[in-house]
Structure 1
Amino acid sequence: MQLEFSELRDLLTTLDQTEIEELTLKAADFELTIRRRSALGGGELAPTALAVPPVSLPPAQTPAVALTPGVSPPAAPPQEASAASAPPPSSASSRLVDITSPMVGTFYRAPAPDEPPYVEVGDHVRVGQTVCILEAMKLMNELESEVSGTIVEILIENADPVEFGQVLMRVKPD
């Protein structure tokens, strides 16, 4: 599927005039998800575009997307972002237990945008306690802690995409 910039611009303009909160287009060679910032808890209504090719394409086949004011640039693939932002392991972090994502999806800290997060840094969690939600294919999956202890780090921002095995939080066990 080939998507020209003018078609993308027309799509964003049309979506901006509707109440559609999220739209995903999938093809064999790319995936495009558009979410309104208001759906992520912000007050602005400008759409945000995220293009993540599920497979590697030769550079000649990769669709070029120019930037438009009010539209975020395409995000780096999650694997590159996590590798670049992951802090180097230290002796203190070796005593911490990682809570990792068991699937590819979208990370949510709270059960709803207007509700408080399940956990904050410094909170004590017990085994079986829900710490976040992972959305995959429109299904909300509660992720439960497998360790009792104190949350010392939350590494993912609300509504960010996550990969299988990606570290979401770190817990200092009891």
Structure 2
Amino acid sequence: MELKDIQNLIKFVAKSGASEVKLEMEDIKITIKTGSEKTETTIVQQAPMGMPQMGMPGQVAAPVQAQEAVSGTNTATEESKFIEITSPIIGTFYRKPSPDKPVFVEVGDTVNSDTVVCMVEAMKLFNEIEAEVTGKIVKILIEDGTPVEFGQPLFLVDPS
């Protein structure tokens, strides 16, 4: 795979709205993670047998800006103390990992920053969405199987 092909892949993933894509071939592994404005690419390419391994040619890395998936809300006086968990990508919202499994979280459940609260499917890739905040789920704002937009509130969390 040439550098030009990698650059085209990065552009395609950035436009697609996917948050992470992994590509593994015989001699190369590529992981592309997208953030709010920038794309991070990690490429691991093994040198052919018998050749000294100098630098890794074709390694491209752009720092990713942390994407804030949680923002405060001030829509109503009583809801102003709650924190929103928002969708980091465009896709379809799912409360369960699969149709025959239980939901990730219910109203009243306590979550911490690394608790998976839902999945958002974008282009046949299922992205686990973490709470990124500690607190108690007080309201689920989206129905299962509903399309969501970037930044759309999914849950309300009481941080107290």
Range class of TM-score, shorter chain:
0.5 to 0.7
Identity in percent: 55
Q: Deviations over 1:65-100 (max 9, x none)?
A: xxxxxxxxxxxxxxxxxxxxxxx9211211100000
Structure 1 length as normaliser, TM-score? 0.49
Amino acid at match of 1:122: G
Aligned-partner Cα distance in 2 for 1:136–1:127:
23
1:131 corresponds in structure 2 to 117
Match of 2:64 in 1: none
- Residue by residue over 1:44-75, the C-alpha shift from the partner in whole angstroms, topping out at 9 and shown as x without a partner, is xxxxxxxxxxxxxxxxxxxxxxxxxxxxxxxx
More helix by share: 1
Query: Rg bigger for which structure?
Result: 2
Determine the structure 2 residue equivalent to 1:163.
149
SS at 1:94 equivalent? coil
Q: Which one of the candidate residues 104, 125, 136 is aligned to 1:118? A: 104
More strand by share: 2
Structure 2 match to 1:93: 79
TM-score by structure 2 length? 0.53
Structure 1: runs of 5+ lacking an equivalent: 1-87
RMSD between aligned residues: 1.1
**How far apart, CA to CA, are the structure 2 residues paired with 1:92 and 1:172?**
11
Q: After superposition, give the CA deviation of every residue in 1:12-40 in whole Å (9 maximum; x if it has no partner).
A: xxxxxxxxxxxxxxxxxxxxxxxxxxxxx
Q: Secondary structure at the match of 1:90?
A: coil
